Each structure stands twice: as structure tokens, then as C-alpha cells.
Structure 1
Amino acid sequence: MVEHKAQPGWVAVEEYLSTAVVLPDAALQHAVQSAVDAGMPPIEVAPNAGKLLKMLVQMSGARRVLEIGTLAGFSAIWMAEGLPDDGRLITCEYLPEHAKVARANVDMAGIGHKVDIRIGPALATLAALAEDPAQEQPFDFVFIDADKENDSNYLNWAIRLGRPGTVIVMDNVIWEGAILDTSMDEVNAPGIVGALEMMGKDPRIDATAIQTVGSKGWDGFAIARVV
């Protein structure tokens, strides 16, 4: 498994940007602390990335958001804040104990009425969404941040559950450079590489990827648009 290492300067810059520009509110700060208190891994997106998700939701005019990977609800809160009051975010979480923490956090943030947390394997949840007659409207925005082995499967479902113009963001696509040497992490890296290559070849989407550094180490995200 890859160890994510952060340089002190990267963390200092990120903290400065968070306090000077991003300004996460008390509910978001509580969500991060609640994950620590619950013994969850500290793998939520950084505040500047969360704010970017919120702004992408707003700029895309999204009304229906799908998230794959809830954890403690940090990114869900950001994205739900970017939705109109009658917007809807469905987020997939495998572990009931994580979903319980996330539910409390989104409710505390005052956006719980926009958020539907589905518990269970994400692939099963996505398949159920596709078969549910109540889910007639496609998703406008999809955020993928779950087990990397299934990144290509999640991407395929994001396209299928979207529409032309749907924005898809996939987190953790650099993985400390393991995309260049999958032997660095034979569990996660092949899944990431498979999804990146799918983004470059699949005619249903147009995509790019950005590498980043910060408290989460050397990583990045990909962004795609369904065509």
C-alpha cells in the first residue's frame, strides 16, 4: 500500500488557503473532528477541494448529485451546500457506522433534507438506482471517492446514470505517482490506471486530470463531462 506523505510546506500553504480563502464553517470543522473521534481514517478531501466541489456543483447548475463514498459526510456537506434548497444528493456508504456519523453531520449542517445516505456496497446501490422508477431524472454531478479497485465500474455507472453535460469528478488519481508504477500499490493503483485510461478512450466522456499536493500528499483528481 502507498504511504501518503505531505511536505510541511504543502500543509502550511493548504492551511493558509483554508483560513484566508476557503473558510470552512463550524459544521464542516465538526465533521472532520467527528471522523477522528469515531476512529475513521483521515481521508476526507481537503477543505480547498471540498470548496471546489461546492463551486463546481453551483457552476454546473446541478440539482441532482451522486456521491460514491460518504465517510463522515465532509464532501457531502460541501456539495449539498452548493445545491438549491430543493436539490438532492444521494451518497453511497458501505459501512453503517460511517453512515450514522455522516447522517448526524449533514443534519447538524442544516442540509440534511437534501441528503439521502444509501448504505451497502456501492455497486449494488448504483444498480438499484438504475432500476428504480422513482429515479427517472439523471444525475447532473457525480463525485467518485471510494475503493479504487472499482473506479472504472463507478465511472461507468456515473455515465449511465448521468446525461449529456453531467460533470464527473474522481478523486485520488495520482496516488503518490503509483499510476506510473502500479507495483507501488497493487491493490489500488491498477484500478486508478484503468479508470484514467477509460477516461481517455471512452467516447461517452471528455476528461482531464490535475495533480495536486497538500495535506493528503501527492495526489490529484480527474474531471470529466458526459458528451
Structure 2
Amino acid sequence: MTQEQHEQWDSVDDYFTTLLAPADETLTTALRDSDTAGLPRIAVAPNQGKLLHLLAQIQGARRILEIGTLGGYSTIWLARALPADGRLITLEHNPAHAHVARANIARAGLDKIVEIRVGPALDSLAVLGAEHEEHAEHAERAARPEAFDLVFIDADKVNNAHYLEWALELTRPGSLIILDNVVRGGAVTDATSTDPAILGTRSALELIAEHPRLTGTAVQTVGTKGYDGFALARVLA
């Protein structure tokens, strides 16, 4: 990637964002306060946030699970797509990040429909799984009433396959699963890599390819976040 290429990617992203995903004060402040608190600058780009928002709307999502909150920027984009009685649960390992996210989400007026659970995501997912089963046991019909309609996975990449397996447990036929940062600057193609993030990402992609209850694809992207991409999977019956 040359400097000229990166500048062109930035320019195109700026054009798309200004035209189709203009910032508002709430989103701008969420990013600013995340920077002030020293959070890493790894939130989704504005046009990617708008994509998450549109996917949630297209999905008709009423319940969303997010794995990896950071400062709550993507959380706000997703939660804004929910109906008034919708619910979003977001999992964050770092208490300091969760503190910033709570303030950002409250400022957005979304704290009534967004719940942040703090701790290792695999532990939080196990608790969610137990709650899920409890609801199913008390339901009058076989369908699980607390299933998530959309899951956005954007946390540590080492556990991507584990997160995906939990997403399958907590969703329903027709649910949508989005897995971010799957290209890793092109390194995802390296079958000999020993990088845990690459291994975790490849395992998740292979799971999408092989699992009988999943169908999906992956897309490369370039822009202000560099060279990366995401995978999109639909849960089958």
C-alpha cells in the first residue's frame, strides 16, 4: 500500500461519509471522548457504522448482541436501528472502556435499551446462554423468545470461532451474524501463520464455510481503516 493509495482511500471514504453518513454531535462526541480517555482508535468508520445501522434495519432486528463495545460508537449506530421496545446487549472486557461507553450511550439517549456487561466475553456469553435456556424452558412454544436477531462480533480475534459458536447458540433461523476485521491486511490468506489473531479469524471463517446451520460470505474493504473486511453469515434452520 502506497501513501498515494491510502490518501485516495481516505478521500473516497470522506466523500461517502459526508454524503451518506454525516456525523452528528452525539457520534462526534463519542469518538472525541473515547480519544480523550485514551481508548485505541479502532472503532468502525462512520460509513461502516451506517452499514451496521442499515443491516439491523433490513433485518428488522429487535434484539442485538454486540461482542466488543470499546467506547460505544458502533453500539450507538446499532441501537439507533432498534424499535422503542428493542434491546441491545453489548459485552466489554475492559471496565475503563465500559465506563466511557456508558456515558456515550446515555448521552445518545439509548441507555434504556442498551445494557453493557463487563467481563471476559466468553464468561458473559455463558451467562447469556444460561439465561437463554431458562427463557426457553418457560416458553409456551418451542421457539426461543430471547434469541438475538443480529450479532456483531468485533472483539479479540483469538476467540472469533468461540464467539461465532456462541452466536449460533443465541440466535434463531434467519438471524444475521457480522464478523469484523477478517482480512487482517491480507494476512488471513497465510495458512502457515502462527499469529493468534490470524488463526482465530481463519477458524471462524472455516466454521462459516463448514457449519450446516450457516451460510455466508466475506468482503474486502479499503478506506480510513486501511485494508480489511468483514464476514456476513445467516443462520439457517
Q: Same fold (TM over 0.5)?
A: yes
In 2, are the aligned partners of 1:57 and 1:83 still within 8 Å (CA)? yes
- Where 1:131 maps in the other structure, the secondary structure is helix
Letter in 1 for 2:226: G
1:167 to 164, 169, 176: 176
Matched residues, percent identical? 50
Bigger Rg, which one: 2
Unaligned runs of 5+ in 2: 137-144
What does residue 37 of structure 2 align with? 38
- Where 2:55 maps in the other structure, the secondary structure is helix
Tell me how far apart the structure 1 counterparts of residues 135 and 193 of structure 2 sit (CA, whole Å): 43
User: What is the RMSD computed on CA atoms of the aligned residues?
Assistant: 1.4
| 1:209 maps to 2:218 | yes
Letter in 2 for 1:25: D
| 1:57 maps to 2:56 | yes
Tell me how far apart the structure 2 counterparts of residues 184 and 214 of structure 1 sit (CA, whole Å): 25
Tell me how far apart the structure 2 counterparts of residues 16 and 119 of structure 1 sit (CA, whole Å): 36
In 1, are the aligned partners of 2:193 and 2:199 still within 8 Å (CA)? no
Tell me how far apart the structure 2 counterparts of residues 123 and 209 of structure 1 sit (CA, whole Å): 24
TM-score normalised by the chain length of structure 2: 0.90
> What is the 5 A alignment of 1:141-156?
141-156=150-165
Runs of 4+ in 1 over 4 A off after TM superposition: 182-185
| 1:179 maps to 2:188 | yes
Per-residue deviation, 1:24: 2.4
Unaligned runs of 5+ in 1: 1-5
Per-residue deviation, 1:33: 1.1
Aligned length: 222
Tell me how far apart the structure 2 counterparts of residues 111 and 17 of structure 1 sit (CA, whole Å): 26
Q: Which has the higher contact order (CA 8 A, sep 6+)?
A: 1
What does residue 196 of structure 1 align with? 205
Tell me how far apart the structure 2 counterparts of residues 154 and 226 of structure 1 sit (CA, whole Å): 14
Q: Which is worse superposed, 93-102 or 30-39?
A: 30-39
